[in-house]
Amino acid sequence: MTTAFTFPGQGSQTVGMGRTLADAYPEARAVFDEVDEALGERLSTVIWEGPAETLTLTQNAQPALMAVSLAAIRVLAAQGVTVAGTASFVAGHSLGEYSALAAAGSLTVADAARLLRTRGQAMQEAVPVGAGAMAALIGLELGAVEEIAAEAAEGAVCAAANDNGGGQVVVSGDKAAVERAVAIAKDRGAKRAVLLPVSAPFHCPLMAPAAKVMEEALAKVDIAAPVVPVVANVTAQPTTDPDAIRRNLVDQVTGMVRWRESVAWMADAGVDLFVEIGSGRVLSGLARRIASGAETMTVGTDEDIKAAVERLAVSEVNSV
């Protein structure tokens, strides 16, 4: 069994996530304490008590999701299931790439939390509220969506932002252009084409001001070589080089999340078990559609931990 650990992105957050881990395991509680201290506020209270509107704010959701993922990683490690001993690769969807890097020892939890708070604020401030939009086009492959986005742009910005796999591609850009893309996609046979309830047009050229902010922030942070390769969003290729990781994180702000290609690359490299670490099950569903025959597991609750330790500890022994 060859395993990859994957880490979810924005949209997977729910009020109360990670609470059972923090209540059951001191290692998990310590992660939330580290994040609170790094940010100088009790983000853990927002994570566990809400309100949902506050948790959903980009600058809160991003470090919050990372905290839940790393809490699960710490608990697994305390039970003998380490990233280095279990996973052949790690990857994360958008902000989840920071979680993947922290899990693999490339970033500290505190630095990841501060970077994600900066990232969330910068992405929110890059475009005036209401000026941008994102839409999910379901039932069309990437090439068709790129043609639709180019046609819809009409001199404005409209670009493929997430190639999630399974015929799910998200476009991002100026609101009017994205709305045109939705209309064109429906005419071109999309099963669904809907605007998404997001606060900014992520992963498109409109995010250039945020990319500049992140370039400056990342230049001040130590990035170590991860203990296993990280498959980057913008390249869909593995790397352990700190300089490449830094560049990828900057490029990721404006670049497309190549999730379909990332999962397909890992499957071609022999991965047959994708373990989603953190809140939700979105990536597990995508993995099953992209990598036919692959198994998936989710690790986000106390019950999940017990099942994962039983399964992954056996896999680790068998792989030796």
Residue 89 and residue 128: Cα distance in Å, rounded? 37
Rounded to the nearest 10 degrees, the angle between the axes of helix 96-103 and helix 58-78 is 30
Residues 171 and 179: beta-carbon distance below 8 Å:
no
Peptide bond into 26 cis (omega under 30): no
Active site residue 94: yes
Residue 260 and residue 282: Cα distance in Å, rounded? 13
Residue 122 and residue 316: Cα distance in Å, rounded? 40
Residue 283 and residue 271: Cα distance in Å, rounded? 15
Helix/strand/coil for 172: strand
Beta bridge partners of 236: none
Pairing of strands 238-239, 230-231: antiparallel
Active site residue 93: no
Active-site pick, 69, 88, 172, 203? 203
Active-site pick, 94, 99, 106, 262? 94
Active site residues: 94, 203
